[in-house]
Structure 1
């Protein structure tokens, strides 16, 4: 695996929080009161899970990974999107390499730029967005043969993450400038419907000047029913996306610690200046990492002593237990020392739950803490150049 230069962000988990109901009929959502000062310093992993098992992705001549941008875990296969190689790798659940889509080119079954990837719920096919401006299209490949099936046009906007439900595509633009109906917009969400028509949710126009930044690379999470939830950059409310609309789902009340509510309407330069100079002691960029029948999980940044730390909140729905913390220590196995339950850590998008397991993606180049290799009881030798390791942690009943 190519070594990555990583800016480390500390995590936290919250142990308490009270909730109330927002009685606004137009924006009905549950309100959860969160105080970052009440987050515990450390949480033992054994408080949340019973056991941990690993999937070590094969690292051979045909399966050497570079810059991984997304990992999708399904019932039959694991799909790894490699941004640097513009390829999609298929592994089985033992981590053995099975096949890959490596179709960069100008041919009818090839793509010029590998965009968002969608895996069919039943794993019959993979869809890839080929980003080529106004001529962007969807390419479809069969699973597991990866034979090309068909192509069709898709009026895709520029975005940092995307999800599909039925025949509707949702794109999280995160302030990136796009054009919808010939009008410039920095709207948060752009929808492309069954008829290939675009619409904007949370439309706005800011002083763009060609600059942009994304504090997190994954805005979406989907549950076992395929329902989509989204987090917006300067909004403490999470939304459920349905029928091309955004429905308020959960609002976080940070007890006065939140950043300036109007920050998202200011220029990119003003946003960055505020976040750099005026956000100490403030909460920013909450992200819903999971909302399904098993857990509710979200994270947020809290700036302490001019350093951003990522706190985390987890509610186990079967037991009703709630955790709010800065760091999750791994007291179940010897590797890694800490566990991170985040849908976008180190720039790798993934769902944080698979079946009855919490999911963490471990980068050896980070977890080895400067060492070239170590010996572990559960995984044997781990080398700094190894591919990512998937940790599956069985949730306590």
Structure 2
């Protein structure tokens, strides 16, 4: 079973706005100033600012093609998503809520350190995937892919960052094919995919059919590519392909809103789940195409497709939704009929992180949140990044070691299965059972 993660903290804010000019630059700096002390807002803005990160390499024309939709009249050849399935509705404003310390068995926390025989430094911008025997980790700041055993001990590095043959640069995301023991990593600003075996041997590389922001691979040739809101002749966001040959495209949208760059796919082997930041619908994709699984009804704070289609100025739109308030999804993991979704509700001066535990087999769900007035507890909960649901229904999160230490220092009643090192401040895995009481 494989899971995906896009970590919420990305590039430093002070690296971003220098290339903006005139009105756009002024508006961006105004928005950035309002968001300066809001971690959740920074997370969303970091994704939008992918446009500026690739400017030097791809040029203005490619950036415009990648991230800003050009409005054309009508789209008559829309591919319909299968409607043979009933979409389960999750009410964001449900009264079925639990404080995270009630929902999760916090008395039985266990941790896994990422460790190596020599020095290992990890950033907080990580993508993590589990298989039956290994934990794979891509550090997107240091641009290095690792293979660990399930105890967190480093086995080997896979490839390395650079401009030479078999080296990757400006990495995006990666997928794992456990049957063939291979990994595919998106790099060069979404224009190429490199394939390695588990031992780190380079196998091959191919150019993607267009600039993509994330992807999944169902077998040796069948891929799903996400291009975002534009960069496709059909203005569709999701594409099914036989490597380079597009077989089908889904989810049409024409907008001038900024894309949000993240890992949209939750891989499950020969199928998976797909989600987007602004859209509340979760899809299942497979060899037969895609269909809706469930939708989170955000109510008054939902961003609709109509709203995106009417965007004329992306800066004004972003500032407007900040002032009015909006909801978005941040990540998704799944196991069998169970799903765990992180959502963010935010408005100028306010943000609320919630986790939704959904069991479609029993048609039940719970909204998990922090009702603590204690800022330490809220900060700990809001930075947890779910990466895996194991066979015993335990939730695995990536956590900042500093946040975990701070939380435990405030809660002397809670004990860990192992100690945390003062010399190692790398993020770690926190395993927390779901409380069965």
TM over 0.5: yes
2:115 aligned counterpart, secondary structure: coil
Distance 1:341 1:151 in 2: 37
Greater per-residue helix proportion = 2
1:378 aligned counterpart, secondary structure: coil
In the alignment of these two chains, the number of paired residues is 355
Q: Is the 8 A contact 2:213 2:262 kept in 1?
A: yes
Alignment correspondent of 1:360: 397
Shift of the 116–304 alpha-carbon distance from structure 1 to 2, 3 Å rule, reads closer
Q: Does 1:271 align with 2:302?
A: no
Greater per-residue strand proportion = 1
Distance 1:269 1:3 in 2: 20
Q: Does 1:245 align with 2:294?
A: no
User: How far 1:146 sits from its partner (Å)?
Assistant: 1.5
Q: Is the 8 A contact 1:168 1:192 kept in 2?
A: yes
Distance 1:56 1:309 in 2: 29
Q: Does 1:235 align with 2:279?
A: yes
Q: Does 1:327 align with 2:370?
A: yes
Q: Is the 8 A contact 2:279 2:304 kept in 1?
A: no
Q: How does 1:172-321 map to 2 (within 5 A)?
A: 172-175=226-229, 177-178=230-231, 180=232, 183=233, 185=235, 187-197=236-246, 200-207=249-256, 212-214=258-260, 217-223=262-268, 225-243=269-287, 245-265=289-309, 266-267=311-312, 268-279=314-325, 282=326, 284-286=327-329, 289-293=332-336, 295-303=338-346, 306-316=349-359
Q: Does 1:140 align with 2:184?
A: no
Alignment correspondent of 1:19: none
Q: Does 1:164 align with 2:217?
A: yes
Distance 2:207 2:83 in 1: 33
Q: How does the TM-score come out when normalised to structure 1?
A: 0.73
Alignment correspondent of 1:17: none
User: How far 1:362 sits from its partner (Å)?
Assistant: 0.8
Q: Give a deviation string over 1:113-139, Cα, whole Å, max 9, x none.
A: 4332222123622222342776x3x33
Shift of the 396–49 alpha-carbon distance from structure 1 to 2, 3 Å rule, reads farther
Q: How does 1:90-169 map to 2 (within 5 A)?
A: 90-122=147-179, 124-131=181-188, 136=192, 138-143=193-198, 145-148=199-202, 150-166=203-219, 167-169=221-223
User: How far 1:322 sits from its partner (Å)?
Assistant: 3.6
Alignment correspondent of 2:57: none
Alignment correspondent of 2:134: 77
Unaligned 5+ runs, structure 2: 1-8, 13-36, 42-80
Q: How does the TM-score come out when normalised to structure 2?
A: 0.67
